[in-house]
Amino acid sequence: MRERAHRYRGMQSFVDAGRGVATVLRTEWNFRIHAVIAVLAAVAGLVFKISAGEWITVVLSAGMVFMAEVFNTALEYLADAVHPEADRGVGMAKDAAAAGVLIAAVAAAVAGAIIFLPKAWAWLTTG
């Protein structure tokens, strides 16, 4: 009986996490933009037949951006729940979390440029 209860809690954590992803996807415009860009990167990866190492870079970069966006959203929800009125400290915390998303997105964009720009250039200039 104990093992069954433990297994349920494990499955419940996946359900809870899925609900969190759905909430962020539904409520956060920037998360949806990042998702579209990730899909485009995956399509480009298939079209250009990128290497396993390049796939790892694309997947980890996209994951890093999604993770930063989810953490940013979680911090915003928590800050608003704990301190709903305007507060300088809360604003600074939210700005710092948003900066984390920006840093992750810029790093992912640079990685994408390093991987895809030479391939796109070769495709455009080869006749």
Annotated domain spans of the chain: 29-125
Q: What is the pLDDT of residue 9?
A: 75
Q: Is the pLDDT of residue 6 over 70?
A: no
Q: Is the pLDDT of residue 2 over 80?
A: no
Q: What is the pLDDT of residue 102?
A: 98
Contacts of residue 68, defined as CB under 8 A and 6 or more positions apart, other chains included, come to 100, 101, 103, 104, 105
CATH tag for 29-125 (out of 1.10.540.10, 1.10.287.3610, 3.40.1010.20, 3.40.190.150): 1.10.287.3610
Give the burial string for 34-44 (b: 16+ CB within 10 Å, else e): bbebbeebeeb
Q: What is the pLDDT of residue 5?
A: 56
